[in-house]
Amino acid sequence: MTDAAVIDAIGHHLPEARETNDELARRIDTSDEWIRTRTGIRARSRAGDDEPTSVLATRAGREALGRATNGGADVDTVIVATTTPDMKCPATAPVVASDLGLENTATFDINSACTGFLAGLATAAGLITSGNSRAVLLVGAEKYSSIIYPQDRGTSPIFGDGAAAMVLRPGYRQQAGAIGRVHLGSDGRLWALAHVLSGGSAQPLAADPHDPFLRMDGRATYRHAVARMTDSCQRVLKDESLTAEDVDLLVAHQANARILTEVARELEVPAEKALVDLTDIGNTAAASIPVALSRAQEAGVLRGGETVLLTAFGAGASWGSTVLRWPELTSPNLTTTEGPNR
């Protein structure tokens, strides 16, 4: 009897369009140097008007299904982790499932902001190990450009658009790619760290032009993100009887380069083992961890057998971590130069 969910395939999709720092500086008071030194970002991916979150998610899902066992024909559940759904109602997941030709599947969205993909991993693993799902397509997808106030220097330089998808199926704990414990946590007292004020039941209508867009306290978010991700990582490493020395690759939510560096330092993970994947695409929120993993797979950074530590912090506030041994997966191109930096 299966006792774990295991990773069967992964794929991603990023919009072709990029907005560079210099282009951004033409419309807001900033500069390439200011952005690079504070975030590590040189450009961010930008989806077009005809590319809502469901389109990004569908394209990433198609990539993952194309690499999955049996083409993912046994996928009976689609989960979309996103903070930027196509609409308030219905969820984006059924649209994605339909566009992929997955009929009569269970579908739902998860909104845990940048922690959403890890929450999705825990949910998918529970569905599979309980026997409620044969295989799950888990997608992290965001179009953050749709909720960014164009003149906000605190958010416009940071966030990008993109999606990545993972197919999970039944397996065993000793297998590479098996999902073990996913540590998750939250503190609702910190909801104001990052939020979109209007559009929900508390305030349906906007009182000022900024209300439909993301507001973020960058300094406070930095402080809490480092502390929570560090603590969460330490918990999962202890649960698995591992130490920082056992970690081959730290894949943190790609918030900004300074946070990635500080979390690695706090964990005593060498800087060269901390994956940096936001330089040319920005922070893609719930998509950032799977996008980073997929690009690392394609670039040959991940080949199979590596101990990978995943961690995220997002609005809510929410956070989470897990550690796993990366499986050997089919990759279309191991020689591409595009991808994450180490």
Catalytic residues: 114, 253, 283
Q: Residue 109: which H helix or E strand, with range?
A: strand 106-110
d(CA 77, CA 132): 9
d(CA 48, CA 175): 40
Burial of 205 (0-12, 13-18, 19+ CB in 10 A): exposed
**Residues 6 or more apart whose Cβ sits within 8 Å of residue 16:** none
d(CA 166, CA 329): 11
Question: Mind giving me the DSSP string for 42-70?
Answer: SEEE---TT--HHHHHHHHHHHHHHHSGG
d(CA 110, CA 127): 14
Is 65 within 8 Å of 75 (Cβ atoms)?
A: yes
**Residues 6 or more apart whose Cβ sits within 8 Å of residue 120:** 79, 81, 110, 138, 140
